[in-house]
């Protein structure tokens, strides 16, 4: 797969969770907005204003929706403890990463003082890792494992960013932390 063939959805409305999931799985409509909205309803069936998405229905899905959506495709997200060095991650069993980062809300050139969150997928494709952020005009090559670890360290350098390690169900039983890390626990 060449860089031109990497699937990359661009940001639309508040659907970054949807874009991150589709970019992670490298296929259009692996998930749909309707499917994520149904998950929101399943999570809070009695809620008039659903707490798992934007009240105007444009997305802005929370971590509960992400976790349920991944489980529907036989995957699981493990939260990474940012007090640890990403080098402890056994990259051989990792399907990909999803990051949750702060995001500015702008109207034109004016940045509003709203605190928002943004979902980003990172995935190994062929021999390189790619930042598949839907706000980018195209996938950004991070590079090999060394560059990936540098990227993850820079992302975790602030308290406002979270990293989720994405594992397939067949790899969940595998330890995604390297043996040295397990021995220290």
Supply the residues annotated as catalytic.
16, 118
Tell me the CA distances in angstroms from 122 to 22, 66, 110, one per residue in order.
11, 15, 29
Cα distance between residue 18 and residue 30, in whole Å: 9
DSSP state of 118: E
- Positive or negative, the CA dihedral 150, 153, 158, 164 is positive
Query: 19, 66 in Cβ contact below 8 A?
Result: no
Cα distance between residue 63 and residue 162, in whole Å: 11
Residue bearing tokens 């308290």: 159
Secondary structure, 3-state, 72-124 = HCCEEEEECCCCCCHHHECHHHCCEEEEEEEEEEEECCEEEEEEEEEEEEEEE
């Amino acid at each position: 797969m060449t860089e031109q063939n990497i699937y990359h959805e661009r940001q639309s409305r508040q659907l970054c969770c949807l874009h991150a999931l589709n970019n992670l799985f490298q296929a259009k409509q692996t998930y749909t907005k309707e499917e994520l909205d149904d998950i929101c309803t399943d999570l809070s069936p009695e809620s008039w204003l659903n707490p798992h998405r934007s009240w105007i229905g444009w997305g802005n899905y929370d971590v509960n929706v992400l976790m349920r959506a991944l489980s529907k495709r036989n995957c699981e997200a493990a939260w990474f403890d940012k007090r640890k060095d990403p080098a402890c991650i056994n990259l051989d069993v990792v399907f990909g990463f999803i990051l949750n980062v702060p995001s500015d809300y702008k109207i034109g050139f004016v940045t509003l003082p709203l605190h928002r969150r943004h979902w980003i997928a990172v995935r190994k494709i062929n021999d390189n890792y790619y930042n598949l952020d839907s706000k980018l005009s195209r996938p950004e090559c991070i590079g090999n494992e060394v560059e990936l670890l540098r990227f993850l360290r820079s992302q975790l350098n602030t308290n406002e960013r979270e990293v989720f390690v994405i594992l397939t169900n067949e790899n969940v039983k595998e330890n995604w932390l390297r043996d040295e890390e397990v021995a220290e626990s």
